[in-house]
Amino acid sequence: MWAGGVWRAALSGGPRGRRAQSALAQLRGILEAELEGIHGAGTWKSERVITSRQGPRIHVDGVSGGILNFCANNYLGLSSHPEVIQAGLQALEEFGAGLSSVRFICGTQSIHKNLEAKLARFHQREDAILYASCFDANAGLFEALLTPEDAVLSDELNHASIIDGIRLCKAHKYRYRHLDMADLEAKLQEAQKHRLRLVATDGAFSMDGDIAPLQEICHLASQYGALVFVDECHATGFLGPTGRGTDELLGVMDQVTIINSTLGKALGGAAGGYTTGPGPLVSLLRQRARPYLFSNSLPPAVVGCASKALDLLMESNAIVQSMAAKTQRFRSKMQAAGFTISGANHPICPVMLGDARLASCMADDMLKRGIFVIGFSYPVVPKGKARIRVQISAVHSEEDIDRCVEAFVEVGRLHGALP
């Protein structure tokens, strides 16, 4: 009745209706001013519409011909792999479109448990738990694990999902300078008064393509009685000799306590995230992690695709080994042309430009030349550090990479980014 009363008052122009209209007008004014500011700063993010499957070559609405895609997280090229697609279709046929339930009510199928066990084996951990995304995995972990007696120490450039997850918990929060081990040690010394100390870091940082010094982090953690958590979203599947991630790459698999990662990048690219680590921790998350308790189960087709992608990865590391040479080819050719490329030896290759409008305009002109890349600017990256983030995939050919570099050189000269 109250809602109906508001509606009738609004129609009749009564005082309550006029107040509601005034509040809505105020909201519109605030939102329009905010949006105008984003446009004015050159940081507006448009969404290009893809009309094909994800892959190294795609079709984009409004652009004629095929486009080379150099900005997907499709590191291993498995997003449209025929065996991955077939596994998704089979799971859809056998287990249905979805569960219409959270896991603990009636949303756990055999394929969910099988994938969790497979992920735990892959990472050489005791157990694993699936989420709708790794953002949810990060949102669920810290609040469930840490109390006001504990402390979490976080790299200042950690992913937004780690930052938001830490905000949800009641632990004491310390932020150390990016990759600065002296600062981390100082923070660990300060945090000695707390019950648990958890160092939280990305394994590979998605905006800069740099890798956390896990050997040093684990050494400090051991020295000061801390645990280590690593987000491996931009490492799982392709870093390390067999694609286990940065902990395998740097030889500290037995020293990292907790790993969160995603199924939505190298492992099929659909959706889903997970936590893997000690069995009692995973059991606690099933009881207390809010995103797990209050979100529907992963759809069977997504589970089937991810499981097959993991099978392909564990059967052969040939795809993993092809990544390094292709990444080096792009980085070396771009640096020789005069571009500054952030990070090192990671398929994330940020082309540093500084100016947000320049990054956006160059990305638009790259598309005109058949190369799909995106400019990144504030608030995704700090002000003054705009860049075009290029991502190399195992399914890019050497010719694809050379064509991308040639387009960058042409567009860079056009916009004055190169002499």
Report, as residue numbers or ranges, the catalytic residues: 206, 234, 265
Do residues 225 and 191 touch, judged by C-beta distance below 8 A?
Answer: no
The phi and psi torsions of 332 (rounded to 5 degrees) equal -65, -40
Rounded to the nearest 10°, the torsion over CA 179, 181, 187, 190 is 170
CA nearest 55: which of 88, 86, 84? 84
Do residues 86 and 405 touch, judged by C-beta distance below 8 A?
Answer: no
CA nearest 71: which of 325, 265, 243, 223? 265
Rounded CA-CA distance 59/52 in Å is: 5
Do residues 309 and 84 touch, judged by C-beta distance below 8 A?
Answer: yes
Rounded CA-CA distance 81/78 in Å is: 5
CA nearest 288: which of 153, 121, 169? 169
